[in-house]
Amino acid sequence: MRATSAKVLSITAILIGGLIAFLALQERKPTLKLNDGSILRLEKIDYGKKQPFRLDAWRVRFQWVIDRLPAWLSRHLPSLGGEASWGGGELPMPGNALYAWLTRYDPRSGRYLDTGLYWAETVDKHGCRFIAAQCGGTTRHQGAGVRGYEVGWFAFQAFPRRQKRFRLRLYDAQQKLLGEFVVPNPALTGETKWKTEPLPITKTDGDLSFTLASLALLSDSNGGKTNGDRRKPPPLITPVL
């Protein structure tokens, strides 16, 4: 009897310890409180091939097991729901990219909400901006009457590679700024020493020659100003060749 009680106490202690560790890990993730009281959380940021982030990943594994049980048994078990996703944009070149995964939840109900995220950009220390090449979202409640996507993600191949930290700005479907995070750079590279040449610059390839006569930045018609907190397009590089 004593041995059984000791075993139960040990298992309980392990479970409590695991729960405390899990909660502590959750608290370390960067969060941002939005105007409606909901919390936007940066769940993961990494560089490389796309590695999807899933809420309650155990549901996917458990559903995989249920789907492979005999029909007479699986029909008596509840369905945990499938996943749905959306995506837009395209990476300009194949290969690795910087991926950011975010969620939004209501601290009063403890439920995850539609992130409402549709645009994102990274900003370096000089104010130069790099717009996400791809974006999308996923939800685990497909067909369960829940609207929206609980997880939003963005992919960048152009971002401030030589900074240890940079800003990640997030926008809704109306291009209104929701907030920004200061994030670590998972793909930090050393500074490149560029050798500049005075204009005009001429380069040749056999009998063919190209001359770069001038280079300028063309801002938008609003003079580079924003309309309130809405996203503005970046200035255009206008070379004369």
What's the distance, CA 26 to chain centroid?
Answer: 17
Distances (CA, A) of 70 to 61, 67, 195: 17, 8, 68
Global confidence as pTM: 0.68
Comparing 24-38, 95-109, 181-195, the range with the smallest average pLDDT is: 24-38
Mean pLDDT of the residues in the chain: 79
pLDDT digits (tens, 9 = 90+) for 202-222: 999 999 999 999 988 776 555
For residues 40 and 234, the model is more confident at: 40
Is the model's pLDDT at 179 over the cut of 80?
A: yes
Q: Name residue 236's beta-bridge partners.
A: 218
pLDDT digits (tens, 9 = 90+) for 32-77: 999 999 999 999 999 999 887 877 655 556 555 656 667 666 665 6
The candidate with the shortest Cα–Cα distance to 136, out of 107, 99, 105, is 99
